[in-house]
Amino acid sequence: MASSSLPLLDIAPVVPVVVLADAADAVPLARALVAGGLPAIEVTLRTPAALDAIRAIAGEVPEAVVGAGTVITPAQVSDCVAAGARFLVSPGWTDVLLEAMRESGLPFLPGVSTTSEVVALLERGVREMKFFPAEAAGGTAYLKSLAGPLPGARFCPTGGIGPGNAAEYLSLPNVGCVGGTWMLPADAVAARDWGRVETLAREAAALRTLRAQV
């Protein structure tokens, strides 16, 4: 797949952050997101259905680049690899978790919210990171302040990002993409309204064009 050869932060401007209670919804939801132009899909390990959802998407939606989020232990890294995840995202990191993600051979985004954490990851050769929780940790103003002294770091901000502020994040030179849930409203998922999900995904994917015009 062409998109999988790109760096993780460059596959799409928005990475949907998916929380699924029923793994049966994984395939139609993923197909709607892909059809809308958002092929990189982060399924969070917040529900018992998460690994089955990753497995289903990996097996039945080859156009998707499915990853696992909220990865916080080496055991979860192994489980996600076995399920077919193609990238890993953590809300934070330790050396033990970082080594497990590195040894998995998959692209990964360790979470950071402070300058010291960014510097520590750069020391360890990691340049692509998740900035979380983005709005609570300082938002675009904080990321702007990091661009000068730490130009080698690139971020996927997640947490408190929606259609009203996503473009502002994407206009920053050190932001490759953003993560969010706004294209997956709870009522649409509950109603299995995949047409609405596809429409919202398409609107989110259009942020790439908006970014190019900034």
Kindly give, in sequence order, each residue whose CB lies less than 8 Å from that of residue 122, ignoring residues fewer than 6 positions away.
Answer: 150, 152, 153
Q: Which amino acid is at 75?
A: A
Residue identified by tokens 């050869």 is 5
Report CA-CA distances (Å) from 104 to 12, 91, 100. 23, 17, 6
Residue identified by tokens 């993560």 is 179
Q: Given the residues 42, 117, 135, 168, select the one marked as catalytic.
A: 42
Eight-state DSSP code of residue 158: B
Give yes or no: 144 in active site.
no
Q: Given the residues 60, 103, 130, 168, select the one marked as catalytic.
A: 130
Contact 183, 40 (CB under 8 A): no
Query: End-to-end CA distance of the chain, in Å?
Result: 29
**Residues annotated as part of the active site:** 42, 130
